[in-house]
Amino acid sequence: MKLRNIAIIAHVDHGKTTLIDVLLKQSGAFRDNQRTEERMMDSNDIERERGITILAKVTSLEWKDTRINIVDTPGHADFGGEVERILHMVDGVILLVDAAEGPMPQTKFVLGKALKLGLKPIVAINKIDKPEQRADEVLDEVFDLFASLDANEDQLDFPVLYGSAKQEWMSTEPEGPKENMDALLDMVLDKVAEPVSEEGSFKMLATTIQSDPFLGRILTGRIAAGTAIPNMAVKALSRDGKQVETGRISKIQAFRGLERTSIEQGEAGDIVSIAGLTKATVADTICSPDVTDPIQAQPIDPPTLSMTFRVNNSPLAGNEGSKVQSRVIRERLMKEAEGNVALKIEETEEPDAFIVSGRGELLLAILIENMRREGFELGVGRPRVVFQNDENGKLMEPIEEVIIDVDEEFSGAVVQKLQERKAELLEMRSSGANRSRLVFLAPTRGLIGYQAELMSDTRGSAIFNRLFHGYAPHKGPIQGRHTGVLLSNASGEAVAFALYNLEDRGPMMIEPGTKVYQGMIVGEHTRGNDLEVNVLKGKQLTNMRSSGKDDAVKLTTPIKLSLEAALSYIADDELVEVTPESIRLRKFLLDPNDRKRVSRAATKANT
């Protein structure tokens, strides 16, 4: 059977996963009466809850005697490592663009990677059923984007389709016919080249890694040369050509619809999964014993943000989670780094702390969320940017391109806040319907914790997108959080009467009955300093009857921070305590005397 390998790339929420749902249905991958779910490719619990794609996944369908392997890619910039890895597996890409929003930061990022590999995209302008669609302007913006990314003449002559994945149609004209996806599938057969195979023995670059309880380690990639059959002797070579291990292929699986099915032989050009090896990992070349040169893997952009993961040492440690030891945490982090090439794990001088570096806050927050669901307890420090030095020893910091779509009335407040965070305004233009599009270059450390502030300033109307731009000279000090925190001065359970009397000090973050301990953050102080408070103090009872009936205590709803919001909120001397059931904020040093000692030492050192 003929083969085509394509990836669907787009910015987050532009409709990639919905489009694949429709292609699978219309190509006959399911029975007419078969029950299917929305966003079938988002199989992970967190993907379903958040409505985003986190892991790149492969599916396949048959169309006119051709098998089309389709790779669904994440749309969020933090998971760019996933996209970079899989692009070399395919021979063409479908670039999906929202007919109202147009090209966004992640569109630029993934398109640049695809063009550099020489791939020729098919542009599909999706969501043309939106009342605010502006397909013609968006097409001009896409062309300008291709030109700015140094696309060659062949790539600039890209075919264009219009349609709505939600309404299940694509056509070469904006007006239709609005019937089906045939135009897109036919264009893939016509415009995407068949996979070209090298001569010689079996060779495959491992692109993704998974664990199976029955088969063990499963490595997925595209066969570059030769054929693979079960029980065949193979070896794994690292990027620099060193032998990692030898072994035999126990099983070969290929993607048929949403399922992986066992096959007797893997042909060159096909995307398959291989089981049988125990040490080989992502970016290793799986090959016949006579092969000596590994396949060159695409370099991955370096991490820009790091966090310190440490053993949970709070007074409540071990009450909610089962995996609390440093050895278990280390094993879990090393396992994650094997499959996720965008992550970097470093050990520290402290035996119970590890530095985890990645592409952004969301990537690290998803890792923490997965770990807490598996029963881990951790203490996590504030995100810090990864600095570099140039050839002259000058300190360089990561800079991000920020695009904010906001109602025009709030644009002044957004510009002011970002300029306080050392951002530079590049462009300000109307994006229709009384909205403005603001483009900034901002230091990554200035954006930590900014999203919550932006939503508050714009009453939730802003759309915030960011993308790593490059390294630039250090921009100088940036003011952090403007407020202090309220700290519990004792351990026990919070009392409603005490919380009610503390409300004028600032908004609370806990409810009555919440277990607290000394040094735990229970609220936000209205002033800039930290304040120790007693949340355990109940009402003084006497044997005298009061003349009037006691009023019931009515508490203001406490602030409930999500994991990402908590990580962005904390200061340098604070930690987020993460357990399977709770997210607590605390000081790194719980004892107030220890905090005073460190503060005095820091003051003395500065003077």
Q: What's the whole-number mean pLDDT along residues 525-535?
A: 91
Q: Consult the annotation and say whether 46 binds a ligand.
A: no
Vertex 322 angle, CA 318 and 324, to 5°: 60
Rounded to whole angstroms, the Cα distance separating 517 from 485 reads 15
What does the radius of gyration of the chain's CA atoms come to, in whole angstroms?
A: 27
Asked if residues 69 and 4 have their Cβ atoms less than 8 Å apart, the reply is yes
Residue 312 has pLDDT above 70, yes or no: yes
Q: How confident is the model at residue 75 (pLDDT cuts 50, 70, 90)?
A: low
Rounded Cα gap, residues 508 and 498, in angstroms: 11
Terminal-to-terminal C-alpha distance of the chain: 76
Structure tokens at 451: 């999203």
Contact 586, 514 (CB under 8 A): no
Query: What confidence tens digit (pLDDT) does each residue in 334-344 have?
Result: 888 877 777 88
Annotation-wise, does 128 bind a ligand? yes
Confidence class for position 464, pLDDT limits 50, 70, 90: confident
- Mind listing the pLDDT tens digit for each residue in 146-166? 998 888 888 899 999 999 888
Q: What percent of the chain has pLDDT over 90?
A: 22
Residue 18 is assigned to a ligand binding site:
yes
Looking at per-residue pLDDT, the higher value among 28 and 15 belongs to 15
Sheet-wide strand order for 57-63: 57-63, 66-72, 2-10, 92-98, 122-126, 160-164, 169-171
Q: CA–CA separation, 270 vs 77, rounded Å?
A: 28
Indicate whether 294 pLDDT > 90. Answer: no
Helices (H) and strands (E) in the chain, counts: 15, 33
Query: Which band of pLDDT confidence, cut at 50, 70 and 90, is reported for residue 52?
Result: low
Q: How confident is the model at residue 81 (pLDDT cuts 50, 70, 90)?
A: low
d(CA 298, CA 251): 27
Write down the pLDDT at residue 40: 45
Separation between Cα atoms, residue 222 and residue 224, nearest integer Å: 6
What is the C-alpha separation between 383 and 308, in angstroms, rounded?
A: 8
Say whether pLDDT at 64 is over 70: yes
Residue 13 known to bind ligand: yes
Confidence at 167, pLDDT banded by 50, 70, 90:
confident
- Closest Cα to residue 99, out of 77, 74, 120, 124? 124
- Which domains are present in the chain? 2-191 (3.40.50.300), 203-287 (2.40.30.10), 389-473 (3.30.70.240), 485-541+552-606 (2.40.50.250)
To the nearest whole number, what is the mean pLDDT of the chain?
A: 84
Q: How large is the average pLDDT for residues 295-312?
A: 83
Looking at residue 562, its pLDDT comes to 86
According to the model, what pLDDT value does residue 583 have? 92
* 113 assigned binding-site residue: no
Which residues, in sequence order, are bridge partners of residue 531? 486
pLDDT of residue 461: 82
**pLDDT category, 295, cuts 50, 70, 90?**
confident
For position 545, what pLDDT does the model report? 59
17 annotated as belonging to a binding site for a ligand:
yes
**Better-predicted residue by pLDDT, 387 or 546:** 387
CB atoms within 10 A of CB 7: 26
Give the pLDDT confidence score for residue 109 in this predicted structure: 77
Pairwise CA distance, residues 42 & 19, whole Å:
12
Whether 30 has a pLDDT exceeding 60, the answer reads no
Pairwise CA distance, residues 112 & 115, whole Å: 5
Crossing angle (nearest 10°) for helices 105-116 and 135-148: 50
Residue 550's pLDDT is what?
Answer: 52
pLDDT digits (tens, 9 = 90+) for 372-414: 999 999 999 988 888 888 888 889 998 988 888 888 888 898 9
What percent of the chain stands above pLDDT 70?
Answer: 91
Banded pLDDT at 233 (limits 50, 70, 90): very high
Q: Which residue has the tokens 């002044």?
A: 412
Residues 542, 543, 546, 551, CA torsion sign: positive
d(CA 219, CA 199): 22
Query: Per the structure block, which two tokens stand in for 419?
Result: 């300029």
- Pick from 253, 268, 273: nearest CA to 202: 268
Mean pLDDT score, 486-502: 91
pLDDT band of 197, cuts 50, 70, 90: confident
Is 370 labelled as part of a ligand binding site?
no
Residue 575 pLDDT:
93
Cα–Cα distance measured from residue 369 to residue 46, given in angstroms and rounded to the nearest whole number: 9
Please determine, for residue 363, whether its predicted confidence score (pLDDT) is greater than 90.
Answer: no
Flag whether pLDDT at 355 surpasses 90: yes
Q: Region 561-583: what's the mean pLDDT?
A: 89
